[in-house]
Amino acid sequence: MEERALAKGMRLVCTFALALAVARPCLAQGLPDKAAAEALFNDARRLLDEGKIADACPKFEESHRLDPASGTALNLGDCLEKQGRTASAFTAFGEAEVIARRDGNTARAEEAARRARDLEGRLSRLSVIVPASSRSRGLTILRDGAPVAEAQWGTAVPLDGGTHVIEARAPGRTSWKVEQTIRGPGTVRVEIPLLEVAVEPKTPSLPLYRRAPAVAGFVLMGVALAGGIVTGALASVAKDKDDASKEHCLPQDQNKCYAEGVALRNESIALADTATVVGSVAGASFLLGATLFVVATTSRPATRTTHAWVVPTFSPTSAGVSMGLTW
């Protein structure tokens, strides 16, 4: 019997120790919140006495959040009412009444209820009306960025005075938004219209009769780019050969050269002439390609046809290009 009693006593001790170990962190966690709530409350009371209402109300709100209490909620409501936020004050008084009745503080509960009744006739309300004809699939109503539950549709909800943004959205439809200013007692109604079906923008495309000239323009501009590269290379080689030919000519007269210098000079001239022709064709190709592209992408009657031509020209003393464009 003594052993059983001892074992039972040990179990009780262990259970108590475990409970204490679990409760101790919770107690340690709760104490700072209560201490912070009390400090915030005292600071808010001081600011309110000094007439600094805008600074006091947020401190009351935070104190109440950390440690909900009927006294804090009652002071918060008083501060919000002084700030002109009647709907928020009405809510705070309601919370104060609920907490006070739960705690058995009848006097405070009746005071909170009286303050709420005094405010009720001065409330500004907003009613969002959603007719059956406007209720498209997936319709969402937002008030000041927060969703409005369908159960609230058509109900006059107390709101603080000021400008409120009402927005309606639905999949596949254009969103709708309105700014509504409410002030003073009374109810303002906002009716949601049927949202228009959203039309996806279509990417414009060239008609078939204008695609070929546009493609030809791109091709010609590409040819012009390649021609420009070839022209530069030919001109560089021509200059190198001309420089090399000078080493085989008389210093006092560069036009009098030995056979090797003459050969190099002739090669340089031939390369320079070729570069001129290629450069001319490249320039003409770019100009013509750009013109074709502009003409093709500009609205023109489909009955007209664009014709372009480029013809290189040569003579014993020059080289060039002849081109034209008709439509």
pLDDT digits (tens, 9 = 90+) for 59-87: 999 999 999 999 999 999 999 999 999 99
Cα 189 to Cα 157: distance, rounded to the nearest angstrom: 10
Kindly indicate the confidence band of residue 283, based on its pLDDT and cuts at 50, 70 and 90: confident
C-alpha pair distances (Å), 232 with each of 272, 286, 289, 321: 10, 16, 20, 18
What are the beta bridge partners of residue 126?
Answer: 157, 188
How far the first Cα of the chain sits from its last, in Å, is: 120
Cβ atoms of residues 77 and 93 within 8 Å: yes
Helix (H) or strand (E) holding 249: strand 249-250
| pTM of the full structure | 0.51
**What single-letter amino acid sits at 137?**
R
Q: Pick the more confident residue, 53 or 278.
A: 53
Q: Domain locations in the chain?
A: 2-120, 124-191, 208-326
Task: State percent of the chain over pLDDT 70.
Answer: 74
Determine phi and psi for 107, rounding to 5 degrees. Answer: -60, -45
- Residues 6 or more apart whose Cβ sits within 8 Å of residue 236: none
Q: Quick one: how far is CA 251 from the chain centroid? A: 73
The class of domain 124-191 in CATH terms is mainly beta
Pick the CATH number of 2-120 from 3.40.50.300, 3.90.1720.10, 3.40.50.720, 1.25.40.10: 1.25.40.10
Query: Tokens in use for 278?
Result: 């290629």
Cα 326 to Cα 258: distance, rounded to the nearest angstrom: 52
Cβ atoms of residues 103 and 167 within 8 Å: no
DSSP 8-state secondary structure symbol assigned to residue 173: B
Cα 168 to Cα 162: distance, rounded to the nearest angstrom: 20
Tell me, what's the pLDDT at 270? 85
